[in-house]
Amino acid sequence: MLPTIGSKELVAWLPTLLGLGPGDLVVHPEVAYPSYDVGARLAGAAPLPADGTAQVGPASSRVGLVWVNSPSNPTGRVLGVEHLAKVVAWARSVGAVVASDECYAELGWDVDDIPSILDPRVCGGSHDGLLAVYSTSKQSNLAGYRAAFAAGDPVLVKRLLEVRKHAGMMMPWPVQEALRVAVGDDAHVAEQKERYRARREVARAALLGAGFTIDHSEAGLYLWATRGEPCWDTVDRLADRGVLVAPGAFYGAAGAQHVRVALTATDERIAALAERLA
């Protein structure tokens, strides 16, 4: 296991740590957390939004890293075993690393199975070329601790560990202890999940009642909502009611008609959302 100073720094620096640069491609989901794109650019590589390997086409030989994010931020979409297995097989065929951002894996709502990239059904029992990235910021509400880790291919993990310590990317020991305790205790994760479940039920009912459609959102901390209009119109409409949401365009062109509604506000604020949309 490789401790990281939160998962965001690993997302942003992984292409650089892997030695990618000009001429290399970093594939990431079409609707995605912006740091996948930024990390590719920091390394001098080119980001390539794609939800399927067929979209890469003849440029596949230039791919050095493939990001998958399941459950997704912002959409809450969960990728199944078959989808992930195809990504792994394709990446191995072109010599690319697959990094899977799984930070929301403990927060499933409408799904019973959220497979990891390291699941034997996905990887065939081999972790070669694979990294699973996980954080306690969601499951344990420890975002400010910057406590995350990566696991997978032991050769790749060892290589990253060596490079990272020379770059000063060492997690302080007290934070490592907090991380160890957090990942070893399921009770507080279940308690936190129920807190989010209650907020989700209130927010989801309020949005549906106000004419929104909720797409995906089967897991994670967000509702991916649309009124079938440009996201900035929705942002304005909700702002007039004192409701702040993230425009889907922040996450890629494919999100231009959606907004991301977070479940991280207090119970009182979620109740206020329902009142203002009624």
- In this predicted structure, what is the pLDDT of residue 53? 87
Cross-strand pairs, 147: 5
Q: Taking a C-beta distance cutoff of 8 angstroms, is the pair 225, 258 a contact?
A: yes
- In this predicted structure, what is the pLDDT of residue 240? 97
Residue (of 258, 253, 215) closest to 30 by Cα position: 253
- In this predicted structure, what is the pLDDT of residue 245? 98
Q: Which residues of the chain have pLDDT under 50?
A: none
Q: Can you say how many angstroms the Cα of residue 224 is from the centroid of all Cα atoms in its chain?
A: 14
What would the pLDDT profile of 114-168 be if each residue is shown by its tens digit? 999 999 999 999 999 999 999 999 999 999 999 999 999 999 999 999 999 999 9
Q: Which domains does the chain have, with CATH numbers?
A: 2-183 (3.40.640.10), 187-277 (3.90.1150.10)
Q: Residue 208 and residue 227: Cα distance in Å, rounded?
A: 10
Tokens 């062109």 belong to residue: 253
> Which runs of consecutive H residues, i.e. helices, occur in the chain?
7-17, 35-42, 81-94, 120-123, 136-139, 154-166, 173-183, 187-209, 231-239, 267-277
The DSSP annotation for 243-278 comes to ---EEGGGG-GGGTT-EEEES-S-HHHHHHHHHHH-
